[in-house]
Amino acid sequence: MPVGSRGRANAILLVAGIVLAPVKPTPPAGRAAPDFSRTDLERREIRLEAYRGKVVLLNFWATWCEPCIAEVPRFAEWQRKYAGRLQIVGVSMDDEAAPVRTAYRRYGLNYPVVMGDEKLAELYGGVLGLPMTFLIDGNGRIRFEHEGAIDLAVIEREIRELLPRS
């Protein structure tokens, strides 16, 4: 869903759809993605700003979250498919790293996963439901965000929309 366009835009579009011709919504520029720095499961220093120029899919997830587990293999696939232009970053909201390391190996994750906490969650407006995914463009602006399980074809379409032309 385009950032900032939730309920009000739906109402506007509903009215527009009945009274006027249908209008294709244009995603707003979006707010700047808050920068953060964490050490990932492989003990590498991860800094969000270092991925400027690439599209970043920032995914808050947890090993106990069924819909999250259903998504992560696709994210690994996209990391391969769009290598060099897309960077997936996982933020685990598990309380302990051990089950995350197990899941990391089990699902063949090929992108950095850091451990989250309430501070990082609050930077992104509060994460009290999973999965939560933010799509950040090459200029570091959040362009789409999704809470809960959604059709991954929608997210992939949004990624392709944001990817720099090759």
Partner 1 sequence: MRGTTALTMTGLLALLCLLPGDAHGQQAAAPPDDSIPSAQLLQPEDLVPLLGRSGGEKPLVLQVGPHVFYAEAHVSGSEYIGAGKEESGLQALRDRVKSLPHDRFIVLYCGCCPWKKCPNVRPAYRQLASLGFSRVKVLYIADNFGKDWVTKGYPVEKGR
Taking the complex as a whole, the smallest distance from the CB of residue 72 to partner 1 amounts, in Å, to 16
Task: Give the residues across from 147 on adjacent strands.
Answer: 132
Taking the complex as a whole, the smallest distance from the CB of residue 18 to partner 1 amounts, in Å, to 5
In the bound state with partner 1, the residue whose beta carbon lies nearer, of 99 and 138, is 99
In the bound state with partner 1, the residue whose beta carbon lies nearer, of 116 and 140, is 116
Beta strand 132-136 with 142-147: parallel, antiparallel or unpaired? antiparallel
The one-letter code for the residue type at 39 is T
Q: Which residues bind partner 1 (CB under 8 A)?
A: 7-8, 10-12, 14-15, 18-19, 62, 64-67, 93-95, 116-118, 121-122, 126-130, 147-148
Taking the complex as a whole, the smallest distance from the CB of residue 86 to partner 1 amounts, in Å, to 27
In the bound state with partner 1, the residue whose beta carbon lies nearer, of 40 and 137, is 40
In the bound state with partner 1, the residue whose beta carbon lies nearer, of 33 and 100, is 100
Helices (H), 20-164: 66-81, 98-106, 118-123, 152-162
In the bound state with partner 1, the residue whose beta carbon lies nearer, of 3 and 121, is 121
For residue 74, which of 57, 91, 95 has the smallest C-alpha distance?
Answer: 57
Taking the complex as a whole, the smallest distance from the CB of residue 106 to partner 1 amounts, in Å, to 17
Taking the complex as a whole, the smallest distance from the CB of residue 64 to partner 1 amounts, in Å, to 6
Which burial class, exposed, middle or buried, applies to 24 when counting CB atoms under 10 A from its CB (0-12, 13-18, 19+)? exposed
Which burial class, exposed, middle or buried, applies to 48 when counting CB atoms under 10 A from its CB (0-12, 13-18, 19+)? buried
